């Protein structure tokens, strides 16, 4: 039994976004937050280019915003530690 192409794309997008969501709640040395932002942006591109409606826009924004805030917090932390060294 084969799935329709639109359903296959939706399943692939949902798997990608679930990984991005996991990366936002499991920050590991800033790497996962960068990947989360990348996944969120890629998901928004896929959703916007789709001719049929696709679910996942809210989770994509979650990945972009929370991952971006984690990146900013990490940069702020590194900046503060850099100032301590001076």
Confidence of residue 29 (pLDDT cuts 50, 70, 90): low
Q: What is the rounded average pLDDT of the residues 25-38?
A: 83
Q: CA-to-CA distance for 33 and 2, rounded, in angstroms?
A: 35
- Do 43 and 10 form a contact (C-beta atoms < 8 A)? no
Report DSSP state, residue 45.
H
What pLDDT was estimated at residue 43? 97
The count of C-alpha atoms lying within 13 angstroms of the C-alpha of 49, restricted to the half-sphere facing its C-beta, is 8
Confidence of residue 64 (pLDDT cuts 50, 70, 90): very high
Tokens found for residue 29: 């040395």
For the chain, give every domain's residue range: 7-85
């Amino acid at each position: 039994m084969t799935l329709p192409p639109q359903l296959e794309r939706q399943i692939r997008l949902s798997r990608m976004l679930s990984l991005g969501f996991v990366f936002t709640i499991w920050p590991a040395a800033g790497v996962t937050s960068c990947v989360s932002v990348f996944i969120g942006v890629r998901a928004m591109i896929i959703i916007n280019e789709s001719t049929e409606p696709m679910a996942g826009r809210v989770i994509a924004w979650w990945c972009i915003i929370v991952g971006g805030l984690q990146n900013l917090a990490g940069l702020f932390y590194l900046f503060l530690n850099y100032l301590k060294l001076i």
